[in-house]
Amino acid sequence: MSKIKVGVVGTGFIGPAHIEALRRLPNVEVAALCEVSQELAESKAAQLGIERAYTFEELLKQDDIQSIHICTPNFLHYSQSKAALEAGKHVICEKPLAKDLAEAEELVELAAKTGLVNAVHFNLRYYPLARQMRVMREKGDLGEVYSIIGSYLQDWLFYNTDYNWRLEPDKSGDSRAIADIGSHLMDIIEYITGLKTVAVMADFNTIHKTRKKPLKPVETYSGKMLQPEDYADVPINTEDHANVLLRFDNGNRGVITVSQVSAGRKNQMKLEIAGSKKTFAWNSEAPNEMWVGNRDGYNQTLTDDPSLVYAEARSVISFPGGHNEGFPDTSKQMFREVYEAVAAGKQPENPTYPTFADGYRELLICEKILESNRKQSWVEV
């Protein structure tokens, strides 16, 4: 069997997670990577056991590379996705798809014109119980959605000495916590419930108005090693914390809170979706259990067991019940679906995986959230 050859762009935190997930697929070979410089690319290639190392421009010239994974800081997603599509490559881009809506719109149009496979790595959809919640809603088990409470909390930017490119709007975009982790939340809420967000009312807070920027580069999550003399003071103008009220197209309401300064919360997305028949509650830090609340009769706990979930959710579970799956498995399951499309050579009519159009949708909501925070009033989506 000839394997589909893949090139990965950017190998900081999430690039190696893509590589590991891709290596678990039987029909894919991670053949090459690229980095900011040829030198860094070569050292990363040696470290990650990948044969070929290039600059971005050189990578795109490789005729045998069929698909490209964009795992760079947000400001590069647009130009790199565009160049990869123009070079005839299928593209799997990290979230958020672009820095702003205009860029995302152009990418959606270009991808549609080429017919190439396009996907955005909203991998949290691929927790099996996220799929199960969606399928239960589709089959009518949840009933009409009455309300949604969502949160995404982290603590890796808790101290004013914590620093990353995400704190700089020219690299991250005008939003930080909402664009970085709120993006997953906005995507998964619409994915599970099938509702559309039609209006938002946002209130942001920047806890650390000044942060200490390291005078040498640090990769995501690795800033804890520096000493006081290694920093310079910089003003911060993006949100550490955001509350957003949501109105949905069924007339009902929700609320989300996003924070990157919640001590002890490492990477916790929580959802509570109350319907006319049941309530679902789920937490990404304990992803193999889901609480099902009933007004009449006992509440229930559903575990991530292929024999207990609907067949549509079973397809994203690889192990029997009790053999816990987690964050790395989400990317594997998503890429499995994406690479079925790559093997067929084109974007299917109704992809099961998140596409550039979903990336556009999330950016649209994000942009309205920013506008609402600026105006301190409701904004329609």
Where on the chain is the footprint of ligand NAD (CB under 6 A)?
A: 9-15, 34-36, 56, 71-74, 76, 94-95, 121, 123, 165, 180, 219-220
CA dist., res. 74 & res. 238, Å (int): 15
Q: Which is nearer to ligand NAD, 56 or 231 (CB)?
A: 56
Which residue's Cβ lies closest to ligand NAD? Answer: 12
Instruction: Supply the minimum distance, in Å, between the C-beta of residue 20 and ligand NAD.
Output: 13
Q: Which is nearer to ligand NAD, 124 or 200 (CB)?
A: 124
Q: Which is nearer to ligand NAD, 71 or 290 (CB)?
A: 71
Q: Which is nearer to ligand NAD, 145 or 177 (CB)?
A: 177
Query: What is the maximum alpha-carbon separation in the chain?
Result: 64
CA dist., res. 122 & res. 331, Å (int): 9
Instruction: Supply the minimum distance, in Å, between the C-beta of residue 196 and ligand NAD.
Output: 22
CA dist., res. 269 & res. 287, Å (int): 10
Instruction: Supply the minimum distance, in Å, between the C-beta of residue 80 and ligand NAD.
Output: 7
CA dist., res. 25 & res. 86, Å (int): 26
Q: Which is nearer to ligand NAD, 83 or 236 (CB)?
A: 83
Instruction: Supply the minimum distance, in Å, between the C-beta of residue 136 and ligand NAD.
Output: 24
How far is CA 199 from each of CA 133, 250, 252, 330, 345, rounded to the nearest angstrom?
24, 12, 11, 30, 38
How far is CA 32 from each of CA 50, 64, 80, 121, rounded to the nearest angstrom?
6, 10, 16, 19
Instruction: Supply the minimum distance, in Å, between the C-beta of residue 198 and ligand NAD.
Output: 26
Instruction: Supply the minimum distance, in Å, between the C-beta of residue 377 and ligand NAD.
Output: 28
Q: Which is nearer to ligand NAD, 56 or 158 (CB)?
A: 56
Q: Which is nearer to ligand NAD, 12 or 150 (CB)?
A: 12
Angle (deg, nearest 10), helices 14-22 and 327-344: 60
How far is CA 71 from each of CA 27, 35, 113, 209, rounded to the nearest angstrom?
21, 10, 23, 28
Instruction: Supply the minimum distance, in Å, between the C-beta of residue 9 and ligand NAD.
Output: 5
Strands laid side by side in the 145-153 sheet:
300-303, 289-293, 279-283, 268-275, 145-153, 253-259, 241-248, 197-205, 379-380
